[in-house]
Structure 1
Amino acid sequence: MSSDKKLPPNRPDTPCVAVCSTTFDDVCRGCGRTVAEVANWVFMSQTEKDAVWERILSQGYPRRNS
């Protein structure tokens, strides 16, 4: 088993909410991740994912209706 820490309770592995749109900038209007973060998500460590989660949650993401 990996040494990465486990997910916090009630948090999915990915912030994706299937509202994928980066039409006007480099940030998805559904999950709040950058295009690079979305593309590299499966390769990121849990620590890196946690940092993204903290940022997007503080910015009011993920959003199902954008």
Structure 2
Amino acid sequence: MSRPSSPCIAICSTSQGDDVCKGCGRTFEEVCAWLFMDEAQQEVVWSRIDTEATALRYTTYKERA
């Protein structure tokens, strides 16, 4: 199964001051840097958020992922 180009599901809580986005599971720094990361760096982030699987993209809003 292929991944989307970004973990974002358009529910960004980092814009509300959270250190980690409740929607996608990325840190504020990862969200800001995402477009500038190479594939290997993005894969590190994907692996972490897949392992944690606590963000809304893995629970309430699986259909958006």
Shorter-chain TM band: 0.7 to 0.9
Identical amino acids, percent of aligned pairs: 47
More helix by share: 2
More relative contact order, 1 or 2 (CA 8 Å, 6+ apart): 1
Structure 2 gap segments, 5+ residues each: none
> 1:40-55 to 2 correspondence within 5 Å?
40-55=33-48
Normalised TM-score (structure 2) = 0.76
Instruction: Report the RMSD for the aligned CA atoms in angstroms.
Output: 2.0
SS of alignment partner, residue 30 of structure 2: helix
Structure with higher Rg: it is 1
Normalised TM-score (structure 1) = 0.75
Kindly tell me: are residues 32 and 42 of structure 1, through their superposed partners in 2, closer, same or farther at Cα, counting changes over 3 Å?
Answer: same
> 1:1-66 to 2 correspondence within 5 Å?
9-22=1-14, 23=16, 25-64=18-57, 65=60
Residues 3-36 of structure 1 deviation map (CA, whole Å, 9 limit, x = unaligned):
xxxxxx4201100001110346310000000001
Structure 1 gap segments, 5+ residues each: 1-8
SS of alignment partner, residue 14 of structure 1: coil
What is the aligned residue count?
58
The one-letter amino acid of 2:43's match is D
